[in-house]
Structure 1
Amino acid sequence: MSAPGLPSAPNHASYDVVIVGGAMYGAAVSWFLTDTPGFTGRVLVIERDPAYEFASTSHTNSCIRQQYSQEINVRISQFGADFVKSFRARLGGDPRVPDLVLQSFGYLYLADDPAFAAALREAQQLQAACGAATRHMTRDEIAAAYPFYHLDDILAGNHNLVDEGYFDGGTMFDWFRRSGRERGVEYIHNEAVAMTREGNRVTSVTLKSGERVSCGHVVNASGPRAVLTARMAGLDLPVEPRRRFTFIFDAAQPLDRDLPLTIDPSGVHMRSDGRYYMAGCPPDDDPAVDYTDFTPDHAIWESKVWPAVAHRVPQFEAVKLINSWVGHYAYNTFDQNAIVGPHPEVGNFIFVNGFSGHGLQQAPAIGRGVAEWLAHGEYRSLDLTPFRYERIAEGASLTEKAII
């Protein structure tokens, strides 16, 4: 995912849009600007880590689902799935662009108590009303479809085999960035360190190398570092970095079919990953961490992940850990949902933040919507105003219950 050889100095002193952060959201917003009719402005993307070594984009598990508790999130994922499946056509039919495959092995949420089962049924009804193919399944129906599960402690589940699963998010990111640059988006290896604010506008961004560029709009696409960027404009944001752990393992007795992305009541999730399997979880104690803290915790595998995996799938009692890594969620502590759009007082400061782990799958719809807002002052395809910043000050939570 690296972008070697980026210049450090901007080519111009003034830009219509300055985007702070060049990972998935900087790439998506900037590419969609180039694809938005009527927009002819100059775009600068500032990326402090062009190797993307510490970017959440580089640590993603590249999955997509429609199983959410908020309708807006279901709609966003439906567009995302369509975008992935028509990726080459969406990028203008360029024969260099690969076709992306959405491997729809589905998500399976398992409930172990009546309240959780009822919540799953309610969510299934919402998703079905949006056109999703989610099924609410009894324990016996789950056992018939996937006989390898141990289900004595399970009452029900939700499952969807249509447009839910894994895709190559790295390729999508690479082509957003590559195509955007070919269309005139300017990327630099630098860092925003300050902003000049005059009344209700940010008028310029100062770079670590000393240059100052004036701006029509500033887009905060800084992932887990979003609050640092917001504070440059005198604003605050309830977003913090939280560690998430991923483990790749081999099984002595592989399953005879794909393992859906299974969300166990323990908080552990697991899925097929080619010939191997992938599992992950949050830590039991889940505080904010330093932006540079990617410290592994191998005890989590031994004490939490492997016991949960072996309990749910007895064939996984004999497994071999192959690889593991730590990534950061840009965690919205207010309601675990995205914060998108302009600040109500500083109107040219645009948030694209706080995705709490589902940012990559939402990038097509959010990138398109933010580009529409920048070009036209309104959302034209899908109304993203439920994610407005104002809800934080109003205490109007848009809580997403289906966070993994």
Structure 2
Amino acid sequence: MPEVMVVGAGIVGAACAYRLAEAGLKVLVLEKEATFAQGSTGRSAGGVRVQFSEPSNILLSYHSILEYRGMEEARYRPIGYLFLVPEDLREVQEEALRTQEALGVPVKRLSLEEAQALVPFRKEGLAFATHGPLDGVLDPHGVTGFYLREARRLGAEVRFGEALLTARREGGMWRVETPKGRYEAPYLLLCTGAWTGEVGRRLGVDLPVHPARRMVYATAPLGHAPTYPLTVDLATGFYFRPEGERLLLGRSNPAEPPGLREGVDWAWLGPTLEAGLARFPFLEGLALDRRASWFGYYEMTPDANPLLGPVEEGLWVAAGFSGHGVQQAAMVGRLMAEEIAYGRARSLDLSPFRPQRFQEGRFLRERGIV
């Protein structure tokens, strides 16, 4: 009989399963899809960065990137993140820089001229730029597959095509029913990404996580491999990054209501390109490849930060990363295993991310949301 049932085989669930098994616990992973990384993980743009404003987010990402850096399957490439900072965010970003510097993570302030040596752009309205040389991109599928393989090697069982239908607490156990069977364990850990709010409702628990669709538009091959960093114009939220001979482009649409909407929103391509061309004129004339473009889901919470920790007796959650799950999964797996196996997280203070913070009127003020 398992001691922990992990629901969800995305990158967060896989990391948790691996570290729980490593801690000596018997683990069962239940995944509704036919294979792993089919939700937000598989549709991620794959960026990882330390450039956040809150210490906890900085450290979650920093320690995760250090782990990915030594993982062959991650295919980690430190292409860097370049943030272009508008005048109205000068003080916010200067404070974030001070926090990053105090924590010892590698981020540099650049003049606009120094930044233009990395990427051509219009300077109007900008104050300065920041660059994180440890930031970059990786392969979320590769990381997830590695964690699941290692979890299995340590005795974990992974079952696909097993959506959680119902779950209830009875006699000190969580009893879970799926289309294929019934299982029980003392601990139930939800790593269900954008579907966490719905899963919570099946359990009769309010978990304030909702899906928000995000687009990743891809250019046609350029005929060469561009070497730009992942570049974000903080004035508009427009970003781009190289992928082989293509550029990937995106921008969040704050006006789109939450929900599991399917398909690429081609109507949002115009506003996305408008914001991009205003700052990066060199993008003009690039052809878009509709077949190479895709959509995915952010798993949003009221303060755009994750829920990490116990919800009620034996029920735990690691979800709601609001676009940062791939970046932080490695460290989250370690911390959740520490919490469940040893009673508390030893490597990092998780109190800012407790699920109860909203009922207590506490919101984490992360200013580095893109």
Partner of 2:168: 196
Q: CA deviation at 1:313?
A: 2.1
Q: CA deviation at 1:243?
A: 0.2
TM norm structure 2: 0.93
Alpha-carbon distance in 2 for matches of 1:385, 1:55: 27
Instruction: Give secondary structure in 2 for the equivalent of 1:15.
Output: coil
* Worse-matched range after superposition: 48-57 or 178-187: 48-57
Partner of 1:106: 80
Partner of 2:252: 282
Partner of 2:262: 294
Provide the aligned length of Structure 1 versus Structure 2: 367
Q: CA deviation at 1:212?
A: 2.6
Partner of 2:21: 34
Partner of 1:307: 274
Inter-CA distance 66–155: structure 2 relative to 1 (3 Å threshold) = same
Instruction: Give secondary structure in 1 for the equivalent of 2:296.
Output: strand
User: Which among 212, 223, 226 is matched to residue 193 of structure 2?
Assistant: 223
AA paired with 1:330? Answer: E
Alpha-carbon distance in 1 for matches of 2:184, 2:85: 52
Q: CA deviation at 1:336?
A: 0.5
Instruction: Give secondary structure in 2 for the equivalent of 1:126.
Output: helix
Alpha-carbon distance in 2 for matches of 1:256, 1:357: 25
Within 5 A, what are the aligned runs for 1:164-203? Answer: 164-188=135-159, 189-198=161-170, 203=174
User: Which among 86, 91, 102 is matched to residue 118 of structure 1?
Assistant: 91
In the alignment, is residue 232 of structure 1 matched against residue 205 of structure 2?
A: no
Q: CA deviation at 1:185?
A: 1.1
In the alignment, is residue 25 of structure 1 matched against residue 9 of structure 2?
A: no
User: Which among 307, 324, 340 is matched to residue 339 of structure 1?
Assistant: 307
Partner of 1:67: 51
Within 5 A, what are the aligned runs for 1:152-167? Answer: 152-161=124-133, 163-167=134-138
* Worse-matched range after superposition: 229-238 or 169-178: 229-238
Alpha-carbon distance in 2 for matches of 1:193, 1:70: 36
Q: CA deviation at 1:50?
A: 2.2
Alpha-carbon distance in 2 for matches of 1:235, 1:47: 20
AA paired with 2:279? Answer: R
Cα contact 1:202–1:349 (8 A) shared by 2: no
Cα contact 2:227–2:242 (8 A) shared by 1: no
AA paired with 1:327? Answer: G
Within 5 A, what are the aligned runs for 1:231-270? Answer: 231-250=201-220, 257-270=227-240
Cα contact 1:110–1:154 (8 A) shared by 2: yes
User: Which among 361, 364, 367 is matched to residue 398 of structure 1?
Assistant: 364
Pairwise CA RMSD? 2.1
Alpha-carbon distance in 1 for matches of 2:245, 2:226: 11
Where does structure 2 lack aligned partners over 5 or more consecutive residues?
none
Within 5 A, what are the aligned runs for 1:342-353? Answer: 342-343=310-311, 346-353=312-319
Taking only the aligned residue pairs, the percentage that are identical comes to 27
Partner of 1:133: 106
Q: CA deviation at 1:340?
A: 0.4
AA paired with 2:275? Answer: A
Q: CA deviation at 1:208?
A: 2.5
AA paired with 1:152? Answer: E
Cα contact 1:197–1:233 (8 A) shared by 2: no
Instruction: Give secondary structure in 2 for the equivalent of 1:118.
Output: helix
Instruction: Give secondary structure in 2 for the equivalent of 1:258.
Output: coil
